[in-house]
Amino acid sequence: MNIQQFRELAHNGLWKQNAGLAQLLGLCPILAVSTSMVNAVSLGLATILVMTLANLAVSALRSHIPYEIRIPVFILIIAALTTVVDLSFNAYFHDLYLVLGIFIPLIVTNCIVLARVEAYAAKNDPLTSTVDGLLMGLGLVWVLGLLGGIRELLGAGTLFSGIEMIVPSLSAWNVFGDDYPGFLVAMLPPGAFITLGCLIAAFNAINARLAERARRRPPAAPVVQNAAQDAADAEPAAAN
């Protein structure tokens, strides 16, 4: 995998084909868990781990999986990896595991993971498939973190609420002070839909502006080599 291919994977995963803003996949966990930044990012990191390892496993085994039963095999691989992540959260981050609840096991049915396994890992080598899974997961994480941060900030006036479940020595950052009344709609499901809609609108507006800027940019002048002129310039040099 060369630098150009890595840049293309990074651009697709983090922006162009972003699962949360462009493809609109996995909206159920995106909307349900994004009540706080910590919850949203934690589920996103769990999804990254499953997606990356699933891409690696499927790409390594793709030549041994019959085409007719590929989907059940893919789901079995994703389910096994999700079980490992689920048990690990339960063992090491039990409080956070209780908060995330059913959404960790539901990674098995998350269309983001299955879509990348089917569309990319089953057709490419293990290294590029692993990088693709990692970058697609990172694209989902930054959307989850931004969505969770906006909803938590508007709804409760805090950031990083629940961070003590991961690092006991840390605590939430009270941005607006103790007198902030909160904005309840931001914490409810309608607030999730409205906030995500605003993010998608901003995403589309940025893409439209970039496309317009690229259209107005003057094309680069083509480099035309004149063979006759080159030959004429070479003759004096050879004579000297």
Of 26, 18, 28, 21, whose CA–CA distance to 189 is shortest? 28
Q: What is the pLDDT along the chain (240 residues), one digit of tens a residue?
A: 789 999 999 999 999 999 999 998 888 888 888 999 999 999 999 999 999 999 999 999 999 999 999 999 999 999 999 999 999 999 999 999 999 988 899 899 888 899 999 999 999 999 999 999 999 999 999 999 999 999 999 999 999 999 999 999 999 999 998 889 989 999 998 999 999 999 999 999 999 999 999 888 877 655 555 555 555 555 555 454
With a CB cutoff of 8 Å and minimum separation 6, the contacts of 28 are 106
Q: So what's the pLDDT on residue 221? A: 58
DSSP letter at 180 equals -
Q: So what's the pLDDT on residue 235? A: 55
Cα–Cα distance for residue pair 187/150, rounded to 1 Å: 10
Contact 155, 187 (CB under 8 A): yes
Residue 159 has phi, psi (to 5 degrees) of -135, 150
Q: So what's the pLDDT on residue 219? A: 73
DSSP letter at 121 equals G
Q: So what's the pLDDT on residue 140? A: 93
